Amino acid sequence: MTAALLRRMLPLALSVAAGACGGESQDLSPVRLLHSPPVERMGAPELKELSLECGRYPVNQSMRGRYEAAYCEAAIAAWSDSPLQIVILPPAAKPVP
């Protein structure tokens, strides 16, 4: 009786063990950090957005949120070096006395 029970239980035990070893492929793959488009090709609005996004996260080993830390540092440096956007306002109309 014990041998018959083992023969029936063995396939079940193996399938449970094999299923437990599985998992989502994204859970098993290493984290893919974002590092594109190249910082040199970004315009001022894109640099500003990326810099603000990166600034929300502290440096954690080699990453800042979902971005590579070096990529974020380059974007923040490029944004801080970009020329200011100066808007010249027309003079205010003088009030009529």
> Where exactly are the structural domains of the chain?
32-81
DSSP string, 30-72: PP--B--S-GGG--HHHHHHHHHHHHTS--BTTEETTEEHHHH
Rounded to whole angstroms, how far apart are CA atoms 79 and 18? 50
pLDDT digits (tens, 9 = 90+) for 12-55: 555 555 544 544 444 434 568 887 888 889 888 898 899 889 88
Residue at token pair 């239980």: 9
Mean pLDDT, the chain, rounded, equals: 74
